[in-house]
Structures are given as C-alpha cells and as structure tokens.
Amino acid sequence: MQFKITRTLFSFVALLALAALPTGFTDGHSVVVAQRKPAVKKKKKAAAVYTCPMHPEVKSSKPGRCPKCGMNLSLPEETPAEHEGHAHETEPASAPSEPSTTAGTAATATTTIAPNTLKIPDTVVYNQHGRKLNFYTDLVRGKTVAINFVFTTCTTICPPLTATFRKVQQELGERVGRDIELISVSVDPTTDVPQRLKEFSAKFKAAPGWTFVTGSKPEIDQLLGALGAATADKNDHTPMLLIGNDAAGYWTRTYGLAPAATLVKVINEAASKKGGDTSRSDAVMPQPQTNASAPQGAAKTPGRLY
C-alpha cells in the first residue's frame, strides 16, 4: 500500500515538472523548446522635404510653389511634370501656402543686353481688341517698353506676372501709353485669340498703354525667338521681363516676379537713357500673309493681305 502511494506521488510530481517546462515537445529524452522571434524595430519615417526641381535650395515641409520660378515643389523621388501646375484651366487656381526657403527672396538682378544685338522684328500681331498691329512699328519704336510672356490658361506664374504688371501700370500712372508701353505676348497663340486675351486682360484691369498680343503661330514663334523667349513647350516659358529704351538702343532683362517697385525702378532707369535717332533700319519686316493666317476673332478686310 505504501509503495502504491509513493509511486502515485512520484508520477504526480513528474507531471507537474513537465507542465512547468516551456512550450515545446519531447522527443525521447530531449526537449525542444519553441524559439521566440526577436522583435523587429520599425524605422521611423523621415520627414517629407519638398524641393524645387529647378532650385534645389528651395525647401519646404509641405507642398507649395517655388517663389523663384513658380514650379510646384515635389518630393525627391517624384518626377515633376513639365512646369507642373500649369494646368490647362480658364480660371486661376487658388494659390497654395508659400513655402519657406533658405535662399531668401527671389533674385532681382538685371542683365543688360549688348547694344545692337537685339533685333526686334516688325511682326504682324493682333491686340486684345482684334486690331492688327506691326509689333515694332506700333508698339516699340521710340518708346520705353516692358515685355512679359504669358498665356491665358496658365495657373502658376502667369497670374502673378500679370498682377505685377497691373501694379507697375498703377505706379507709372499716365506715363503708360504715352512714353512707356507695357506688352504681354502670348506664348500660346493658337488658344489665345483676341477675344480670349480681352477677357484675360479685363480680369487684371489692363488700361490703355498695356497691350496683349497674339497672332499666327509661325509669326509669334518668330517673335518669341527674336525676343529671347522661344520655348518648345508653353509651360516652360520664361518668367523674365524684357525692358528697353528703343530710342537709346538700351535693353535689359529682369525677373518678372520681383516687387512692382523694383520693376518700376528698372523701367525708369531704361527710360532715363539718352539716345539719338529713333529710326530702325534693321527692323525685320514681315512677309505679306493671307486672311487664313489671321487668328480667330481678329478683324479681317476682304481682299486685303494679312
């Protein structure tokens, strides 16, 4: 009897000992214990840094636009679309928050063009009222001019470029249209017919002395090339202004998104240059064109060459 009790007690103790072992299984006299996988530490995701494709020094912790060129900021792994944000819309999109930049304010330096190197053609163009003009003869000859380059469906740098021209016009007052001319050349003449330019100019309250021009694509392309603003894609057009005093033969370029007061200073400096003869024997005269080349909305005279 005592032997049975002892045996039963021993068996009970053995069972308790097996139960206390880690989870596993027995194989003969060996015990294989299940291995615990080490915990994997999750790496902290780096904070997103948006940069300008054209100006890498411009950085922001959130999406926005570059204050220098107007391009959308993008993450490093993204491939930005051509001049992203130049959406083909008729109404300007609301501007996103302005990104911070380590580069400070946008550059406002001007670049003077060597005398007698800029040959402005007398290209046939049409203004926002559908009136046919010769670019050099009617808009430039003998005047101080400021020329920018825009298109009406642009939603990035064109609205601020045009709004800045509006402020320039206000600061110059009655001088605009008298001895100073503001000119906005469309880089998308196929879309920007005179009526469309008229509606666009009205949004920015353009007054007399501020002319928006368009024309046939071949001729506008020729004009853009002569003005140093040719581009294969309208979305990549320059934000620079061309400012000059034709009478003095003085021309310079400056950043179009600079403060209006800065642009007025550059225009006044150009206007103060002294010159002699206002004639231009080197102006390139256009070849006659037929009515077919006149843009939609432009006035046409039957039997007259355009």
pLDDT digits (tens, 9 = 90+) for 183-231: 999 999 999 999 999 999 999 999 999 999 999 999 999 999 999 998 8
| pLDDT number for residue 52 | 61
Q: How far apart are CA 98 and CA 96, in angstroms?
A: 6
Please give the structure tokens belonging to residue 261.
């007061």
- The answer to whether residues 134 and 121 touch, using CB atoms and an 8 Å cutoff, is no
Per-residue pLDDT reduced to its tens digit, 129-147? 999 999 999 999 999 999 9
For residue 173, the 8-state DSSP code is: G
The conformation of residue 65, written as its DSSP 8-state character, comes to B
Indicate whether 152 belongs to any domain: yes
What's the confidence (pLDDT) of residue 25? 45
pLDDT score of 38:
59
d(CA 188, CA 173): 29
The answer to whether position 200 is within a domain reads yes
Residues 6 or more apart whose CB falls under 8 angstroms from that of 183 comprise: 139, 140, 145, 146, 147, 148, 210, 211, 212, 213
The pair of three-digit structure tokens given for residue 10, joined into one six-digit string: 């021993």
Burial class from Cβ neighbours inside 10 Å (0-12, 13-18, 19+) for residue 127 reads: buried
Tell me whether residue 38 is in a domain: no
Same domain flag for 243 and 276: yes
Structural domains in the chain (count): 2
Domain assignment present for residue 10? The answer is no
**Considering the domain boundaries, does residue 60 fall inside one?**
yes
Half-sphere exposure of 98 (CA within 13 A, CB side): 8
Whether 187 and 164 share a structural domain: yes
Residues 78 and 226 in one domain: no
Does residue 206 fall inside a structural domain?
yes
Could you list the residue range(s) of the whole structural domain that residue 79 is in? Answer: 49-101
pLDDT at 142 (0 to 100): 93
Which segments of the chain have a pLDDT < 50? 24-34, 69, 77-107, 277-293, 300-306
